[in-house]
Amino acid sequence: MERPGPQPKKEMQAINVTEALGEFQQIARDPAAAVKKAASEKIVRVIGHLPTDVPEELVHSAGAYPFGVVAYDRRQISQADAHLQTWACSLMRCAFGMALSGGLDYLQGLIVPTICDTTRTVYTIWKKVRPFHFMENFLMPRQLDRPSAKNYLLGEMGRLKARLEQFTGRKITAQDLGNSIRLYNRHRALLRRLFEFHVRHPEILGNRATYDVIKSSFLIPKENHQELLNRLINALEQELLKLKTGREKTRVRVILSGKLWEPPALMDVLDEVGAVCVGDELCTGWRYIANDVKENGDPYVALAERQLARPPFACFVNKKQDRKDALLKKVRETQADGVIFVHLKFCEPENYDYPYLKEGLDAAGVPTLRLETEVGNVSLGQIKTRVGAFIEMLEGAK
């Protein structure tokens, strides 16, 4: 099996922004085609992981290709309903339904991070009903500020490492893991650079395009994605020189709070109404790219420390990093005009956090809007109307 690793430097092919973005859009909109193509280019095992608390670097260093399972095909959701309560979140029902109907057969393995009651239940049922050759959970501590959290995570990583080695037949050396960590760090840095460009120049790089790029980054191997990203950033910088625009200030600035940007068309709506998403708390957004892994010292300790330091999320409690304070800080730092909560129906962790966050934002005079959505099944008309009215209200208050 070929081990993914540092790639030889290639001559960067000049390309315009539309062409460069088109490559990412294609991947984000047809993940199955992307993973099949990428997997066929190298003989590697594709190991899926549910978003986004699995240490991908560890999977990568085992010579496998980590693929973020973003539920995108709702057609088979009824198959999941035979095993799960209909009040389980649509993300899990959709992903499980796809697996039951053979829609994830391109994966050889799956890792489920145990972050909430739903993931805990789904993992056990999934493993019994439709297991992959390799199927593991990754047990996350809930209270991240406890002294035992780091040791607990280290134990989990040790267990996952041993299972990956057994499955791939390859020992994970400190050097392999170090190489993977460096690759992922460089990649996150590029995505942050892209995000910063989007915030400064939404007229060139809109919301949907930016978030499609981030989403596509957990669908294809990082080596390939990094190459595409370099080309895109190059094209964007060339475009900026041509247009000679300064920093745009006129658009309404919003922050998205929640787990996923679902439905994807929400970003198109924000583009249409002239708003720019200047920050988010999303697992498929900023939370995925925000922090890096230390490149010196024990790589397992470094991976655990990154996990514990990631931006707050509803599934975890961390008194040292309060979610409401972090959200308010983000609002101040990004000069956001308002916050849009995007909640998947029946996502209990987000539902529990919402009153507390809303109270904090209300007290600080930050306007908010809450949307309740479902993977692949929303009334876009209603979203358009509500988001449009909210942005208009923020515009009027500017």
Residues in contact with ligand SF4 by CB under 6 A are: 89, 91-92, 115-116, 118-119, 259, 315, 344, 347-349
Q: What's the rounded Cα separation, in Å, for the pair 291 and 277?
A: 19
Within 8 A by CB and 6+ apart from 35, the residues are 46, 67, 106, 107, 219, 220
- Residue whose pair of structure tokens reads 């099996």 in the numeric block: 1
Contact assessment for residue 191 and residue 213, using Cβ atoms and an 8 Å cutoff: yes
Q: Which is nearer to ligand SF4, 36 or 120 (CB)?
A: 120
Minimum gap (Å) between residue 99 Cβ and ligand SF4:
15
> Any idea what DSSP says for residue 133?
S
The kind and range of the H/E element at 116 are none
Minimum gap (Å) between residue 239 Cβ and ligand SF4:
36
Q: Which is nearer to ligand SF4, 190 or 371 (CB)?
A: 371
Tokens of 282: 């999303």
Could you give the 3-state DSSP secondary structure of residue 280?
A: strand
- Report the candidate in 251, 259, 314, 249 with the shortest Cα–Cα distance to residue 71: 259
Helix 323-334 to helix 348-363 angle (10° resolution) is 50
Contact assessment for residue 15 and residue 76, using Cβ atoms and an 8 Å cutoff: no
Within 8 A by CB and 6+ apart from 272, the residues are 384
Minimum gap (Å) between residue 315 Cβ and ligand SF4:
5
- Report the candidate in 218, 278, 265 with the shortest Cα–Cα distance to residue 378: 265
Minimum gap (Å) between residue 145 Cβ and ligand SF4:
20
Q: Which is nearer to ligand SF4, 89 or 164 (CB)?
A: 89
Q: Which is nearer to ligand SF4, 227 or 348 (CB)?
A: 348
Q: What's the rounded Cα separation, in Å, for the pair 51 and 69?
A: 7
Q: Which is nearer to ligand SF4, 61 or 119 (CB)?
A: 119
Q: What's the rounded Cα separation, in Å, for the pair 182 and 389?
A: 44
Q: Which is nearer to ligand SF4, 225 or 259 (CB)?
A: 259
Q: What's the rounded Cα separation, in Å, for the pair 264 and 262?
A: 5
Minimum gap (Å) between residue 80 Cβ and ligand SF4:
12
Give the dihedral of Cα atoms 154, 159, 160, 166; nearest 10 deg. Answer: 150
Q: Which is nearer to ligand SF4, 119 or 224 (CB)?
A: 119
Please list the residues that pair with 68 across neighbouring strands.
Answer: 49
Q: Which is nearer to ligand SF4, 188 or 343 (CB)?
A: 343
Minimum gap (Å) between residue 117 Cβ and ligand SF4:
7
Q: What's the rounded Cα separation, in Å, for the pair 297 and 198?
A: 34
Minimum gap (Å) between residue 92 Cβ and ligand SF4:
5
Q: Which is nearer to ligand SF4, 260 or 391 (CB)?
A: 260
